[in-house]
Amino acid sequence: KEFFTSDLMVGYFLPCRVVVYEKDGRTHIGIVKPTAILGLVNDELPKLAQPVEEKLILAIQEAK
């Protein structure tokens, strides 16, 4: 909700995308960092996105 009250354009970038694929017999997991992509919308959104990004990165690390 905080994202949408900051800027309605954020709706074009949510939910966060997680890509999982296999290459050369290995599984890869990737994301576009929310802080980077939402920074394109306005300068305030990366601060809101930081906790989300940290949780996504932690989840990816735990999946390894």
Return the pLDDT at 9: 72
Strand partners, 19: 30
Distance of alpha carbon 13 from its chain centroid, rounded?
A: 9
Distance of alpha carbon 36 from its chain centroid, rounded?
A: 8
Tell me the DSSP string of 8-62.
GGGGGT-SPPEEEEEETTEEEEEE--HHHHHTTT-TTHHHHHHHHHHHHHHHHHH
Domain 2-63 fold: TATA-Binding Protein (3.30.310)
Average pLDDT of 4-9? 66
Q: How far apart are CA 17 and CA 8, in angstroms?
A: 18
Quick check: 5 pLDDT over 80?
no
What's the pTM value of the predicted model, to 2 decimals? Answer: 0.74
Return the pLDDT at 7: 66
pLDDT 10s digits, 16-56: 889 999 999 999 999 999 999 989 888 988 998 999 899 99
